[in-house]
Amino acid sequence: MLHFEFKSEGTFHVGIIVFPVAFDGDLMRRKTMTYQLFYSDRSAAQGVRLILEELEQDYELIETDIKSQGPRPAELLAVNPNGLVPVLIYEEGPIYECGAIAIFLCDRHSEYGLAPGVGDRYRGLFLQWLFFFSSSLQNAFSMTYRANRFSALDSGYPGIEQQGRKRLMSLWQIVDDSIGEKPWMLGESFSAVDIYLFMLSTWLSGEYGHPDLAKFSNVERIADKVKQRPSVAKVYPTIIGAT
């Protein structure tokens, strides 16, 4: 049994994960597990939550304010010194970085088939796109949302934001061209990469001058298919078509 707790605004949050000692095998342990997820809407934590839903795992959301201009919550900094979500808590402690969490969960619950196995011919492609999304594309979004992370001078913000918008256009085009006529990012099989694609497609915003999703017909086609999944109806209840 692992006991994990922290204090937030006078309230103790406690997580307990219990393992059966009289039974053998990883499957029994996985079925008794409850994850905790440091979470905020409109963040990469929604993608991790989608994966947990697809994997039919029990989890507790720890709602976390990352939008205010003040200091990040102490309980978040205790598990991720970067002060960012998502952070997944499991029996060994915290894991942060969305791409790392996605791989960890998919491999740990491999019976659900959200990731190709280590020896699978599509494993390399799976890793390529997960890292592309979690580094290149997410970074381009950050340039338009958080220009202050890239320049110490206010005068530098407009140029960074403009470059971020250009990057989004070129990077999404790379994804769109790669998809071609394939039904999913990896070909015939739905995977966590498609979940990641959908999550990032919801970040596109005219308010920030982002390109319209309709410019990338193949990306939009996959995003629309992911949108129809029951997991999306739960995690993104306000999105039209998530029924």
Are domains 2-112 and 123-230 of this chain identical in fold?
no
What DSSP string runs through 92-116?
TEEEE-HHHHHHHHHHHTGGG-SS-
Residue length of the chain: 243
Q: In the chain, which residues have pLDDT < 50?
A: 1-25, 27-30, 240-243
What dihedral angle (degrees, nearest 10) is formed by the CA atoms of 224, 52, 139, 41? 80
Q: Would you state the pLDDT for residue 33?
A: 66
CATH number at 2-112: 3.40.30.10
CATH number at 123-230: 1.20.1050.10
Asked whether the beta carbons of 89 and 35 are under 8 A apart, the reply is yes
Q: What is the pLDDT of residues 174-232, one digit of tens each?
A: 999 999 999 999 999 999 999 999 999 999 999 999 999 999 999 999 999 999 999 99
Domain-wise residue ranges, the chain: 2-112, 123-230
Cα distances (Å, whole numbers) of residue 71 to 81, 113, 234:
12, 39, 30
Sign of CA dihedral 224, 195, 197, 129: negative
Q: What is this structure's pTM? A: 0.85
